[in-house]
Structure 1
C-alpha cells in the first residue's frame, strides 16, 4: 500500500475511543504491514497503572484499521503481541488479498466517523433484544464475552460497585489531579476530554440508575450517589439504558487487545443501528471493585469494559455535537521502506 492509503487507514484508526481520550498509540507503516505501538508518553499512572485500559483502547484502534481496510477491498491478517520482548509493540496488521466490499463493510466504515461518546441521558426507549444478541455474537467471534446486565440483583450490585469506586476516586487527590490534567477547555484541543462533552450538573443528582464518571469531581463537594428509585431522590424520569459488560477468559495483554477489537465491532454495529454509548468503567479502574464485580456477578473470566447504550436525545436546534478531537495523523504515523 502507498503512503496515502495508510494515511487514510490510520486516520480511521485514530477515531477510536480511548480512556480520557489519551490516544495512547503510535503506528509504523511499510508497504505490506502496519505496526501498532503503545505510546508510553501518554500513560495514566494513577488510573491505569497496568496500562490495561489503554491497551484496550489500542485494540479498538487496531480493529478500526481492519474495518477501514475492508471498506477499501483489502483483507487483513492481525497478529497480537508479536514480540514479547518489545512491550510497546502490541500488534501487526498485514495486508492480505483483495476482497469484495460488502454492504456491511461499507456501513461499519461509515460508522467510524459518526461514532462518538455520549454521556448525556438517552431517550426512554429500550434497545432491541435482537440487536443485543447480535452484539453478543460479534463479541464472541473475537474471543470476548458480552453479558447484558438485566437481572435486578446484578444491576443493584453493579450500581453499588460503580458508586463505591467513584467515591474512592473522588477521595484520591492524585486521581483528581490526573483527571483534571486531561480535561480540556479549549475546543481546539487535540486530545483529552472536552468540557463541552461533559453533561452539566452533578452526575450524582441525575435521574438515572447509572452513575457516569464525574470529570469535574475536584470542583464540587463529594457525596454519595443515590440511584433512581431512592425515595429521597424522586427523579422525574428514570434513564434505563442497555448496560452490557464485556470480558475475557484471560487477563493479559492479548486478552485486553481482543476485548478492544470486540469493543470496536460492538460500537460500530451499535452506531450503524442508531445507538450511542459511553463507558461506565469506574468499578473496573480499581482492583478491589473489579475483583468484587467478578465475585458478585459470578463471572467466568475478567471484566474488561462496562458500557451503557441507548438512543440519543435530539440535540437543541442548531447545537452541534461536541466530539473529542484527534491528534493529526502525522503525529502518530511513521513510514518505513521495509517490513523491518
Structure 2
C-alpha cells in the first residue's frame, strides 16, 4: 500500500487558507509547494521587511501563522497533517513541512476556527467600551497554550499603564528612524493592491491622550466621541525561548488566538512596536516577571465590523519547484 500523499487540490486548499494569515505591513512573506507528497511552507525572502525585520522575526511569525491556517484547512478537509517545523533536511527557506496523517472527520473546534479564517482581520479603530467576558479570556489563554505558547492578559490600570509606557517609548524610537518610516509608507496604499495596508484600514490619526500607539498607515480624522477605549484589554503572547523555531511556534499560537477572537465575536489589533525594539521587549518581559520571550502584543475588545485587507492571488504564492515534477 502506497504512503498517503497530498495532491494539488490539497495544496490549493492549504494555500487559500495560508494567504489569509497576518503579516507585518501585510507583506505576505510566504510561499507553498508540494514536495514528495508533503506540503511545505516556505519563507519568501523577497518580501522580508529590510528595515523593520532585518533579523527575520516577523517573517517567521507570519509564516507560522500561515502554517497554522494551512494545517487547519487540511484538517477541516478531512486530511489532517503531521507537522515538522524547520526540517533539518530541507533548505533554509522551508519553515514547515506538512505530511498527511490518517483521514478523519474534522472536530467541531476545527470547523469553527476554519470558518473564522476568511473573517479575521485587524481592527485598528476604537473599540466599544464593553468588557471582554471572563470565559472568552479563558478561551484565548487556552488557544495560546494549545500551540505551545503563553498569553498573559493585563488586568488593572497598573500593568496597563506600564505596558502603555513601554509601547509608546518603542513607538517613538521607531518614528525617529526615517528609513523605518519610509518602509512603512511604501507598504501603505490607496489603490486596492494585493498586499500592503490600505489607508482605509488604518487607525485614526493619533491624539496626545491616546493610551496605546497605532501605526500611521494614513491620516484619518476620528469621528466626534470616538476616542480609543480608556482601559483596553491587552494581551502579551510569548514563548519559552526565542530561537527561530520558537518564533514559528509563536506564529501558530498567534493565529489560533486570533481565530479564537473571531469565533468569540471579538475584535483584535496587533501592537508589535514593543517587540521590535530590543530594549522595550526586555523591559516588557521583566514587567511580566516572565522568563520567556514576548513575541506579540494584542489589543482585544468589541469593534465595528470591518473587512480583511487584500491578498495576493494563489498563483503568486504557489512554488513550482516540486522535485517530483508534479
TM-score (norm 1): 0.87
Aligned match of 1:260: 251
C-alpha separation in 1, matches of 2:173 and 2:228: 28
Aligned match of 2:308: 323
Aligned match of 2:77: 72
Displacement, 1:194?
0.7
Aligned match of 2:202: 198
C-alpha separation in 1, matches of 2:315 and 2:131: 41
Displacement, 1:27?
1.1
Does the C-alpha gap of structure 1 residues 339 and 95 become closer, same or farther in structure 2, counting only changes over 3 Å? Answer: farther
Displacement, 1:113?
0.6
Aligned match of 1:215: 217
Write the mapping of 1:34-45 to structure 2, written as runs, cut at 5 A: 34-45=39-50
Does the C-alpha gap of structure 1 residues 235 and 275 become closer, same or farther in structure 2, counting only changes over 3 Å? Answer: closer
C-alpha separation in 2, matches of 1:101 and 1:325: 28
Name segments (4+ residues, structure 1) moved above 6 Å: 234-237
Superposed CA RMSD = 2.3
Q: Deviations over 1:236-264 (max 9, x none)?
A: 77443321101111101110011111111
Say how many residue pairs are matched. Answer: 316
Aligned match of 2:102: 97
Aligned match of 1:284: 275
Out of 116, 126, 141, the position equivalent to 1:136 is: 141
Write the mapping of 1:112-127 to structure 2, written as runs, cut at 5 A: 112-127=117-132
C-alpha separation in 2, matches of 1:339 and 1:65: 22
Out of 6, 9, 16, the position equivalent to 1:11 is: 16
TM-score (norm 2): 0.91
C-alpha separation in 2, matches of 1:180 and 1:281: 17
C-alpha separation in 1, matches of 2:323 and 2:89: 24
Contact 1:270 1:276 survives alignment (8 Å): yes
Structure 2's unaligned 5+ residue stretches are: 1-5
Does the C-alpha gap of structure 1 residues 59 and 300 become closer, same or farther in structure 2, counting only changes over 3 Å? Answer: same
Contact 1:13 1:61 survives alignment (8 Å): yes
Kindly indicate whether residue 288 of structure 2 is the aligned counterpart of residue 297 of structure 1: yes
Kindly indicate whether residue 168 of structure 2 is the aligned counterpart of residue 182 of structure 1: no
Q: Deviations over 1:276-297 (max 9, x none)?
A: 1110111111111111212233
Aligned match of 2:318: 333
Kindly indicate whether residue 38 of structure 2 is the aligned counterpart of residue 33 of structure 1: yes
Displacement, 1:74?
1.5
Q: Deviations over 1:86-125 (max 9, x none)?
A: 3211110111111122222221111001111110111110
